[in-house]
Structure 1
Amino acid sequence: MARPIKTAIWILFITLCGLFLDHGAAEASMEGRIRECARVIRDMAGENDASTMRDLIRSSHGIAIFPSVVKAGLGIGGKYGQGVLLKHDPYTNRWYGPSFVNIAGLSWGIQIGVQSTALVLVINNQKGIEAFEGDKITLGGDLSVSAGPVGRNAQAGTDSSLKASIYSYSMSKGLFAGLSLEGAVISTEGDTNRAYWGREMSVQQILSKRASGPKMVPLLRALKDAVKTGK
């Protein structure tokens, strides 16, 4: 590889690391992260074409919410964001967790600039939520992931014709749409989970605990409101 190309890659890598570290510091508050997740759900569920997303959440086995995924690139691109994972029982509508996670990935091609995107991953089946019980998962590798259907004409989102384990929704600058995330890696934040729960726990143990407490009230309320019929 030519020296100028190597230099450009290293400059971009260092820039991305700086952006991601600053972004992580801004979201260091666990309670703040949960509040931001609630805001994202409210904002997305309020979009005119979010009907199918709300149906998918209602019948989901879990959800991962990332309030701000920072994407930056100059030929080579990267993305990073911190979020929250919850397990859902579609029969009782009970939520379990939270487990704190982050998402990261690289991309190639024509791209330039920096962008922040809110991201929601709706986990569509039992296989999907079980895959999240480990420490790391590769989207599109370990699990199939597709851009989520939008609009009222996509009501198939609630039936068995949708086979992907995960459906992704994103919103940037007020635009709401599905998003493809092939190759992105979601990792469990063990230290953050330990700080939140007060002891060492596996993701499986965390997702067996009913989501409750004052810190979770905003997010639980936002999820409840999002799946109300006719909202």
Structure 2
Amino acid sequence: MRILTTLFLLSLIICFPDYSQAASAQEINAKVNQALKEFYRHSPAGKELAQKAAAVLVFPEVIKAGIGIGGEYGEGALREGGKTTAYYNVASASIGFQLGAQLKSEVLLFMNKEAFQKFRSSDGWEAGVDGSVAIATLGAGGEIDSNTIQQPIIGFIFSNKGLMYNLSIEGSKITRINR
């Protein structure tokens, strides 16, 4: 697995040279602000939910790439009451039929304090293992399914560009980083 991870990271550096350097706190915050503007523009219902959430975790640029072996990586910020309180990265690896690259944004809403505290107290949180994330889909009129809005953690994935398409964050590991 270590070899696969190394190969994946090397491919990201070659394919996306601008992303091979860690972003500063100021760069992450600027990108998070822009991602939230786009999110709110595309989903007024998502904006309403975000205002009710205990915390919002935003990964403005998650890069996913693969040629048989794939992976994804992105850095983001945790917002409580509209203010950044911590920085995180998201990473995952996969093996199987895949070819291409994709840049997407992810927003996770922690809708109650219990789910948020479990996330905050973890030393590396994995979606689907440490907590289930309900991926929101928009119906007619931009409304979110009523079953989804009752879940403790709601995820939104948007701004998909590229050849790969995957609306899942299951198996993604989220780890706190210092910025």
User: Alpha carbons of 1:96 and 1:29: their partners in 2 closer, same or farther (altered >3 Å)?
Assistant: closer
| Counterpart Cα distance in 2 of 1:71 and 1:130 | 28
Q: Which amino acid aligns with 2:132?
A: S
Matched residue pairs, number?
171
Partner of 2:32: 37
Partner of 2:160: 172
Correspondences of 1:105-120 after superposition (within 5 Å): 105-120=92-107
Point out the structure with the larger strand share: 2
Residues 1:46 and 2:34 aligned together: no
Measured after TM superposition, the shift of residue 109 of structure 1 is 2.9
Please report the RMSD computed on the Cα atoms of aligned residues, expressed in angstroms. 2.9
Measured after TM superposition, the shift of residue 127 of structure 1 is 2.0
Residues 1:142 and 2:130 aligned together: yes
TM-score, length of structure 1 as denominator length? 0.64
| Counterpart Cα distance in 1 of 2:36 and 2:49 | 13
User: Alpha carbons of 1:168 and 1:131: their partners in 2 closer, same or farther (altered >3 Å)?
Assistant: farther
CA contact (8 A) 1:128 1:166 kept: no
Unaligned runs of 5+ in 1: 1-5, 88-93, 193-231
Partner of 2:8: 16
Q: Which amino acid aligns with 1:95?
A: G
User: Alpha carbons of 1:28 and 1:125: their partners in 2 closer, same or farther (altered >3 Å)?
Assistant: same
Partner of 2:50: 57
Residues 1:28 and 2:14 aligned together: no
CA shift digits 1:154-204 (9 cap, x unpaired): 3555x8962242323322239xxx932111110000x32xxxxxxxxxxxx
Correspondences of 1:85-100 after superposition (within 5 Å): 85-87=78-80, 94-100=81-87
Q: Which has the larger radius of gyration?
A: 1
| Counterpart Cα distance in 1 of 2:66 and 2:46 | 29
CA contact (8 A) 2:127 2:173 kept: yes
Measured after TM superposition, the shift of residue 146 of structure 1 is 1.7
User: Alpha carbons of 1:123 and 1:114: their partners in 2 closer, same or farther (altered >3 Å)?
Assistant: same
Partner of 2:143: 154
User: Alpha carbons of 1:179 and 1:122: their partners in 2 closer, same or farther (altered >3 Å)?
Assistant: farther
Percent of matched pairs sharing the same residue: 26
Partner of 1:101: 88
Unaligned runs of 5+ in 2: none
Partner of 1:80: 73
Measured after TM superposition, the shift of residue 107 of structure 1 is 2.4
| Counterpart Cα distance in 2 of 1:74 and 1:105 | 15
User: Alpha carbons of 1:120 and 1:32: their partners in 2 closer, same or farther (altered >3 Å)?
Assistant: same
User: Alpha carbons of 1:180 and 1:110: their partners in 2 closer, same or farther (altered >3 Å)?
Assistant: same
Q: Which amino acid aligns with 2:34?
A: R
TM-score, length of structure 2 as denominator length? 0.80
